Amino acid sequence: MKKVIEASTAVALGVKLCEPGVIPMYPITPQTHIVERLADYINDGLLSSEMIHVESEHSAISAALGAEAMGVRTFTATASQGLALMHEILFVVAGMRLPVVMAVANRALSAPINIWNDHQDSISERDSGWIQLYVESAQEALDTIIQAYKIAENRKVLLPVMVCLDGFTLSHVYEPVDILKQEDVNKFLPQYNPLFKLDPKKPITMGPIGFPNTYMEFRKQTHDTMLDSINIIKDVNNQFKESFNRSYGNGLIETYKIEDANYAIAAMGTACSTTRVVVDELRKQGKKVGLIKIKSFRPFPKQEIISCCKNIKGIAVIDRNISLGNEGALYTELRSAFYNQNKKPIIKGFIAGLGGRDITPDHIKTAFKKIENSSDTEWLL
């Protein structure tokens, strides 16, 4: 069934179809519509979940940790300063290998106070042990929520997942969305059967102290699992395609008209939609250009990017974040991927769209024009 709905509603519908037992929530712009819709579903008897109204985002993620440790599928959502307030517990959730799923409606961090979109909030948590998936459309948001649970709860993964969508630029935009049937989602996503859970009849310890002679082993296990999850993400994307006839590249990256391209834009989120329009326009002018959409920032799809760029002469990386004093995080990661490659494209980084500023077709065209020059980071103002 197709309906024109807000992307936040699409996220909430995706969550509803996954039937989490506990939803700890604290409202913060621009993710508030997500939990408002979920509250409506619970109030209307359409979702049998316990919504916990907590006093802060730190409490929301802590409650999600507790519920998940008890063996209950959970969901929460946040943005910006709310995600920053969760920082301490994000590491605990990942370290305890709890498959929490959380939507992040990406929003700029203060100061100055800004409620509009960029990726600084989730990028700042890239090292916390959470899988990070960035979406471009309302449909992709709904579908990725469902895939996120199947990825996170896979016993070869057992890591939490952030589904990141651009605040306002996507979260408050209405688009046509194919809403999946509950029975079909139930076939795709099995009931949550945790490997371990807190149970007084079978006591276990979760999150004990890690002394110097064991802590590094735990960190390496998490790191290795993050790398291994690349294959699980691909498999889940393929399974989703088989079940619903819809997929997003290989689940890690999605390319557009890249096969014969000489130059490409690499980006995440809604900037990819603008880039597609520019690519089509420049193609009509005879220019061989394309798009590399990065869906998975963690784990970073190094080999997949290298493979799709064998014939690419230059890549312009559009970052909606800035590592102050250095460069954009996506640019750093992508350039590093090619470090040991004998044949390397020219790679140039651009900072754009911070604090909700539009990334326009002219910005994309400017980036394409400049990638043959230097490899310094520039600001698309």
CA distance 57 to 342: 46
- The radius of gyration of the chain from alpha carbons, rounded to an integer in Å, stands at 20
Mean pLDDT, to the nearest integer, of 103-107?
Answer: 98
Query: Residue 375: which pLDDT band, with cuts at 50, 70 and 90?
Result: low
Please name which of 30, 33, 142 lies closest in space to residue 79, comparing C-alpha atoms.
Answer: 30
CA distance 258 to 377: 23
pLDDT digits (tens, 9 = 90+) for 52-103: 999 999 999 999 999 999 999 999 999 999 999 999 999 999 999 999 999 9
pLDDT digits (tens, 9 = 90+) for 176-233: 999 999 999 999 999 999 999 999 999 999 999 999 999 999 999 999 999 999 999 9
Query: Which CATH superfamily does the domain covering 2-244 fall into?
Result: Thiamin diphosphate (ThDP)-binding fold, Pyr/PP domains (3.40.50.970)
φ, ψ at 94 (rounded to 5°): -65, -45
Domains 2-244 and 253-379 share a fold: yes
Listed by start position, the domains of the chain span: 2-244, 253-379
pLDDT digits (tens, 9 = 90+) for 295-348: 999 999 999 999 999 999 999 999 999 999 999 999 999 999 999 998 899 999
Query: Residue 11: which pLDDT band, with cuts at 50, 70 and 90?
Result: very high
Q: Is the pTM of this model over 0.75?
A: yes
Q: What's the confidence (pLDDT) of residue 380?
A: 77
CA distance 202 to 353: 51
Q: Class of the 253-379 domain?
A: alpha beta
Largest CA distance in the chain: 70
Give the dihedral of Cα atoms 191, 97, 123, 76; nearest 10 deg.
40
- Cα of first residue to Cα of last residue in the chain, in angstroms, is 41
Please name which of 261, 237, 235 lies closest in space to residue 249, comparing C-alpha atoms.
Answer: 237
